[in-house]
Amino acid sequence: MKNRILLMPVLSFLLAAGFCEARIMSLVNINKGGMLSDIDTECSVNLTEENLGEGAKLSLKLEFSGPAFAGEWAPKKNNWAGWKYFKFDAFNPLARELTMSLVIRDETCSGYNRNLEDRKNWPILPFVLKPGMNKVELTLEGLKNIEGKPAGLTKITHWFFAYRLFPCYAWEEKGADKVDINISNLRLED
């Protein structure tokens, strides 16, 4: 009887710890050959075994030859409500920092890539990649578009990584036209 009483707190702790693990949703299963579905003409995307994040078997090499984007149009996993972070590993081969953006469009967003005026209702998350491997964590909670209105995350229609698409903003990359980055472990997390 004593052994059972002592085991109860231990079992309760182990069960609680199991329930407290962070939820993870893979957006593109790169390790199984998953590719992005929407790639601009100034970008190419290839699977590679180079420049992998921790535990990754494959990465996506995004090669930008000018201002461009690469991401998912009409993603199958389109309800991001309740997720706290957009996370991924990114390798920057440059000897300097590189600024890029993540754009998340929902059903309320209008306009397309080349019309700067329409982009005001897009949620845009700029991020900086240091030379080498980066663990990127972008916050989705409280996300707002450029106009300051809350982003709708219940029905994502399009998301993409952008390079030099927003020259009107001070944070935008001003560097060379051609850059490559590798992306792995692409996911949403609590």
Query: 49 in the Ramachandran plot: left (φ > 0), alpha (ψ -120 to 50) or beta?
Result: alpha
Q: Residue 11 above 50 pLDDT?
A: no
Q: At 184, is the pLDDT very low, low, confident or very high (cuts 50, 70, 90)?
A: very high
Mean of the pLDDT values across residues 25-45?
95
Mean of the pLDDT values across residues 79-91?
96
- Domains, the chain, in order of start with CATH, read 24-189 (2.60.120.430)
Q: At 147, is the pLDDT very low, low, confident or very high (cuts 50, 70, 90)?
A: confident
Residue pLDDT, tens place only, 165-182: 888 888 888 877 799 999
Question: Distance from CA of residue 180 to its chain's centroid?
Answer: 16
